[in-house]
Structure 1
Amino acid sequence: MYLPAAFEERRPEVLHALIAAHPLGTLVTHGPEGLDANHLPFELDTAQGSHGTLRAHVARANPVWQQAADTAVLVIFQAAGGYISPNWYPSKPEHHRHVPTWNYQVVHAHGVLRIHHDERFLRGLVGRLTREHEARSQQPRPWRMGDAPSDYIAGMLQAIVGVEIDITRLVGKCKLGQNRQARDRLGAADGLERLGANALAHAMQSAGPKTGD
């Protein structure tokens, strides 16, 4: 990933927070048929490993767990992103030396893929993922695994395979206008807010300048 110094994010707590808030990751693997990508909701365990551990599950019918086991993989987590119009920069009328761009936040997690078949691992993982995302749905009575017949859940667990990745390297890029004057960065954030893109706008508002201010 091209990573200008102004946009590099190294703080583990920031990268972990972005992953936790945007858990649908793109698992990129290289198997016998070349590059492949699978989109999976991941659990992040920040307490295990030097950079954390990712866990997810795939369908047993998905060949990725056979083709990519014990190989180096990349998981991409895409956070907030959006188009930036030059018209949002207060300095534009002064010299018109601006062009459109796209601001975004992304985290790349590198590691080695391990496979789990045991029912205990799978049941625990599915239970934790369910509790996490049912809580986010803000329902008065969240769905629980116990709501479904036990034989049905057992059959569903037999149809999936667990994947685990000990993160060996985290690379973060937060392109939030840090290379621009503060008034232009904040003006673009205001433009995003008018469109309802509040997550990216707030990230830009809180981003400290590294160059150009």
Structure 2
Amino acid sequence: MYIPPAFKDDDIESIRATIRGARLANLVTATADGPVATPLPLFLDESEGDHGVLYGHVAKANPQWRLPPIGNALAIFTGPDAYVTPSWYATKRETEKVVPTWNYVAVHAYGPVEFFHEAERLLDAVTRLTNRHEGSRAKPWAVTDAPADFIAAQLRGIVGVRIPVVRFEGKRKMSQNRPEADRVGVAAGLAAS
């Protein structure tokens, strides 16, 4: 990812917050057949390894897990994003020398991908992922709410994903390279939109 210095986010807590806030990631692997990408929910276990370990799963029918990866996998997480119209810039009224842009937050996590099939590990990953997404509901659903034989059958249809993160790249492009009056205009425009 291209990251000009003004937009670099190397604060680990900010990066982890972006990952936690992302409801869906894109898992990209390079293979001999070319790049393969799958949108899927992932969670970061911050207690494992130096940078944490990402977990999730793909459908067993998804060919991505069968294609040997070349190098590290890439998990792409996106945070808030918005179109920024030049109309919000004070500079537009002053010089007309402005163009539209897009503001966004993104994190790229890199690491070797492991695909796994063990039922116990799959159940753990699915349970933790479910708890993450159900935890804030008034009446959260739990994996144990479904019959055990049904869950066992469902686990046979998926393949686990584990990525020990070796490197993060974080980017926060939030108009911080613009003059203060332009930033104020963007904030006001976004708040009104």
Same structural fold, with TM-score higher than 0.5 when normalized by the shorter chain: yes
Cα distance in 1, alignment partners of residues 12 and 154 from structure 2: 35
Q: Is the 8 A contact 2:75 2:110 kept in 1?
A: yes
Gaps of 5+ in 1: 196-213
Q: What does residue 103 of structure 1 align with?
A: 103
Gaps of 5+ in 2: none
Q: What does residue 178 of structure 2 align with?
A: 180
Change (3 A) 1:105 1:126: same
Q: Match of 1:177, as an amino acid?
A: S
Match of 1:156 among 132, 154, 157: 154
Q: What does residue 75 of structure 2 align with?
A: 75
Q: What does residue 192 of structure 1 align with?
A: 190
1:76-130 deviations in Å (ceiling 9; x for gaps): 1111111101111123211111111111110011110012211111111111111
Identity within the alignment, %: 43
Aligned length: 193
Change (3 A) 1:69 1:98: closer
Corresponding residue SS for 1:9: coil
Aligned ranges for residues 28-177 of structure 1 at < 5 Å?
Answer: 28-68=28-68, 71-136=71-136, 138=137, 140-177=138-175
Deviation, 1:5, is 0.5
Cα distance in 1, alignment partners of residues 59 and 159 from structure 2: 6
Q: What does residue 22 of structure 1 align with?
A: 22
Which TM-score applies when normalising by structure 1?
A: 0.86
Which TM-score applies when normalising by structure 2?
A: 0.95
Deviation, 1:70, is 7.7
Q: Is the 8 A contact 1:89 1:187 kept in 2?
A: yes
Corresponding residue SS for 1:103: strand
Corresponding residue SS for 2:132: helix
Change (3 A) 1:172 1:103: same
Deviation, 1:135, is 2.1
Corresponding residue SS for 2:15: helix
